[in-house]
Homo-oligomer: A and B are copies of this chain.
Amino acid sequence: MEPSSPEVAAAPTLPAESGLHARVLEHLGTAICGGELAPGSVLNIDELVDRYAVSRSVVREVLRVLASIGFIEARRRVGVMIRPASAWNVFDPQVIRWRLASAGRMAQLRSITELRTAVEPHAAYLAASRIGRDEASDLVGLAAKMWAAGEAGDEERFLHLDIEFHRRVLVASGNEMFVRLQELVAEVLTGRHKHHLMPHHPHEQALQMHADVAQAIQRRDGERARRAMVQLMEQAFDEMKSLWEQTALPDRSKAE
């Protein structure tokens, strides 16, 4: 009966979860992030029930989730009010996804990149004193593989290795909050790739710096690891900067 549905649709960052709840949540979340529902505007439950043709249960459960990430506030006799961006839980992975998919993409990218710039050097510093022998070896090996992939011009492979490298450094930092940032970093890196902002042949410098970071960590030289990571971040930041300078021509946004 049904046309053979190809299960190829494995979207990594877009689960496209089935189910009414996920569908409505996705739609409302996107709308709020995208500014289609402006802060201060008011919804009401029955209206949503009609609009999405789902039951009150579904709508209420979605609203509870949205409330928990600071998107809305439900008040009796008034309705459901959209809250300003300053109230949002900007660290919620779901919010990150929505923002990266919205018009505020560049702002989101900038924020996360700055966060990386702040955190990763310290993570490298901590990793130097906390990493295990085997992990350290793996890290050095990973940097070597990155070098190989870079030389070979294998972008795809380089991207994956890059993400894995930074993930391992964050993991080795021994701080679970840093680890959690890894998924944000991954979003940024893949985003950068999608927008073709990776040099086809990664800079020689970057390759060397990854190797430096890995080696410094293995030698337990926290200061050197930190400095090397700082350089790496500076370069990544510069690449990003050219990105949002070229893309955000008319946009002098950031209305607080």
Residues of A whose CB lies within 8 Å of any CB of B are 21, 57, 60-62, 64-65, 68-69, 85-86, 89-94, 110-112, 114-115, 117-119, 121-123, 126, 173-180, 254
Chain B residues near A176 (CB-CB < 8 A): 85-86, 90, 111
Q: How far is the CA of A174 from the CA of B111 in the complex (A)?
A: 9
Known: A57-B57, A92-B92. A111 touches B68 (CB 8 A): no
Chain B residues near A254 (CB-CB < 8 A): 174
Q: How far is the CA of A89 from the CA of B184 in the complex (A)?
A: 12
Q: How far is the CA of A174 from the CA of B255 in the complex (A)?
A: 11
Q: Which are the 7 A-B pairs with shortest beta-carbon distances? A: A91-B91, A118-B122, A61-B64, A65-B68, A118-B119, A111-B177, A114-B175
Q: How far is the CA of A126 from the CA of B69 in the complex (A)?
A: 27
In the complex, how many angstroms separate the beta carbon of A171 from the nearest chain B beta carbon? 9
Known: A61-B61, A90-B180, A180-B91. A115 touches B175 (CB 8 A): yes
Q: How far is the CA of A180 from the CA of B115 in the complex (A)?
A: 12
Q: How far is the CA of A41 from the CA of B24 in the complex (A)?
A: 29
Chain B residues near A111 (CB-CB < 8 A): 175-177
Q: 28 A-B pairs, CB-CB below 8 angstroms?
A: A21-B64, A57-B60, A60-B61, A61-B64, A64-B65, A65-B65, A65-B68, A85-B176, A86-B179, A89-B91, A89-B92, A89-B93, A89-B180, A90-B176, A91-B91, A91-B177, A92-B92, A110-B175, A111-B177, A112-B177, A114-B126, A114-B175, A114-B178, A117-B122, A118-B122, A118-B123, A119-B119, A174-B254
